[in-house]
Amino acid sequence: MPVLLASDQAPTLPELLRVANTVGLDCKIVGATEPMPCIQGVGSLLSAGPVEISFLSNPKLHAQLALSKAAAVILTESVAATLPANGPPCLRVICSQPYLMYALLAQWFDRHRIDQLACGVHPTAVIADTALIAEHVSIGAHCVIEAGVRIGCGSRLGPACVVGTGSVIGRDCLLHARVTLYHDVTVGDRAILHTGVVLGADGFGFAPDPYKEPGAWAKIAQLGGVRLGDDVEVGANTTIDRGALEDTVIGNGVKLDNQIMIAHNVHIGDHTAMAACVGVAGSTQIGRRCTIGGAAMFAGHLVLVDDVQVSGGTAITSNINEAGQYTGVYPFADHRQWQRNAAVVSQLAQLRRRIQTLEKAD
């Protein structure tokens, strides 16, 4: 990958570890030389060049270390102890959690890149007179900021974003192009909302209306809002509906992947993470620190306790009252074999009764 900083902007390796807030990881540099190299970017073991830093967290990639041309490599003490004294020539940053350190360094480089792109308020943006825009806010081309909106210091809105009446965006948020916030949506500090995110669309609420005609429906107005906590990231084309009477609530540190559907009145606890294509029906409450695999589905009005892991493709149709991992994926097979298996599964209740009858007869 190309380097991320110009040479005159690049920090030395010790400076990078300091400004990227990695002090808490208790790292040290081994094989230090003077002058220390300046680091212009991050890369994989094989792609990183002499002005980039790389990392080794997967033991399967150990052999690539000898081939790396990176200026420095992040690795654990145990891995460093296995390296020969004469190689590799790069500096070694010893850290107990190389992958986490890589994540923090990559965040720093990305923030620097975004800062360089900040353009102030584009002349094509439409901003209501009653909107309150803090200092150092960047608003891209063709954005629409409606009445009563508040945007916190340092936040950035990409092209064609729409922020509806009375919505609030916290400090240091990043909204990529074409993010839409309906009215009365609240986004906490340091949120990242990717392209196509829609917050605050109407929840799916309808009441049967036989007085109009058989089978007709009357729309239930969705009067609540959406509230996102701090440090939330929402992936591309993910939608979070507003509540019917109370707010849909997404806790602090929640991470949502692409193309997820969160229905009205859902509550998601702090630091829960969901992979792509998850669907959560209305009024479900998901606890803190849960991890949800891709394409998992949740029926409505359910409660999941904290620290639940749901495997990909699993359908959750009842409450989960104990922490742990839950899986309900029916294994795929040749279609004809699957049909035979499904026929047996559909008769399990009858087979159970027959077995119980035989056991009683004994």
DSSP code for 124: T
Domain contains 361 = no
265, 228 in Cβ contact below 8 A?
Answer: no
Domain contains 44 = yes
DSSP 237-292: T-EEEPPSSS-EEE-TT-EE-TT-EE-TT-EE-TT-EE-TT-EE-TT-EE-TT-EE
Domain contains 306 = yes
CA-nearest of 232, 341, 241, 328 to 284 is: 241
First to last CA, the chain: 72
Whether residues 113 and 130 share a domain: the answer is no
- What is residue 25's three-state secondary structure? helix
- What is residue 159's three-state secondary structure? coil
Q: Which residues pair with 85 in a beta bridge?
A: none
Contacts of 154 (CB under 8 A, 6+ apart): 134, 135, 136, 137, 171, 172
Residue span of the structural domain in which 71 resides: 7-117
Q: In which residue are the tokens 């029906």 written?
A: 281
Check residue 184 and give its pLDDT.
97
Whether residues 133 and 109 share a domain: the answer is no
CATH number at residue 90: 3.40.1390.10
Whether residues 197 and 295 share a domain: the answer is yes
- What is residue 197's three-state secondary structure? coil
What global pTM score does this model have?
0.86
Whether residues 111 and 201 share a domain: the answer is no
56, 98 in Cβ contact below 8 A?
Answer: yes
> How many Cβ atoms are within 10 Å of 77's Cβ, its own excluded?
12
Domain contains 359 = no
Residue 12 and residue 5: Cα distance in Å, rounded?
12
CA-nearest of 129, 135, 177 to 152 is: 135
Whether residues 131 and 27 share a domain: the answer is no
Residue 207 and residue 228: Cα distance in Å, rounded?
28
Domain contains 344 = no
- What is residue 24's three-state secondary structure? helix
Rounded to the nearest angstrom, the gap between the alpha carbon of residue 182 and the centroid of all alpha carbons in its chain is 21
Whether residues 270 and 235 share a domain: the answer is yes
Per-position pLDDT tens, the chain of length 362: 556 778 888 899 988 888 876 656 778 888 777 788 899 999 998 989 999 999 988 777 878 888 889 999 999 988 888 877 666 678 889 988 889 999 999 888 888 777 766 678 999 999 999 999 999 999 999 999 999 999 999 999 999 999 999 999 999 999 999 999 999 999 999 999 999 999 999 999 999 999 999 999 999 999 999 999 999 999 999 999 999 999 999 999 999 999 999 999 999 999 999 999 999 999 999 999 999 999 999 999 999 999 999 999 999 999 999 999 999 887 788 999 988 988 888 899 898 999 999 888 87
* Structure tokens belonging to residue 222: 């969705």
Check residue 24 and give its pLDDT.
65
Contacts of 109 (CB under 8 A, 6+ apart): 4, 5, 41, 42
For residue 60, count CB atoms less than 10 angstroms from its CB and return exposed for 0-12, middle for 13-18, buried for 19 or more.
exposed
Number of domain units in the chain: 2
Backbone angles phi and psi of 18, in degrees to 5: -75, -50
Is 264 an active-site residue?
Answer: yes
Domain contains 67 = yes
CA-nearest of 219, 225, 217, 224 to 205 is: 219
Q: Which among 117, 152, 177 is the end of a domain?
A: 117
227, 249 in Cβ contact below 8 A?
Answer: yes
Whether residues 247 and 286 share a domain: the answer is yes
Check residue 22 and give its pLDDT.
62
Whether residues 29 and 135 share a domain: the answer is no
Domain contains 86 = yes
Whether residues 36 and 155 share a domain: the answer is no
Pairing of strands 52-55, 239-241: unpaired
> How many Cβ atoms are within 10 Å of 273's Cβ, its own excluded?
15
* Structure tokens belonging to residue 290: 């849960």
Backbone angles phi and psi of 74, in degrees to 5: -90, 130
- Out of 183, 264, 271, 301, which one is annotated catalytic? 264
CA-nearest of 203, 180, 309 to 263 is: 203
Whether residues 130 and 110 share a domain: the answer is no
Check residue 119 and give its pLDDT.
72
Check residue 86 and give its pLDDT.
63
Whether residues 98 and 200 share a domain: the answer is no
Whether residues 107 and 136 share a domain: the answer is no
Residue 139 and residue 296: Cα distance in Å, rounded?
36
Check residue 2 and give its pLDDT.
57
CATH number at residue 202: 2.160.10.10
- Describe the strand order of the beta sheet including 28-30 as a list of residue ranges: 28-30, 91-94, 72-75, 52-55, 41-42
Check residue 90 and give its pLDDT.
82
Residues in the chain: 362
DSSP 202-220: PP--EEE-TTTSTT-EEE-
Domain contains 26 = yes
Q: Which among 99, 117, 135 is the end of a domain?
A: 117
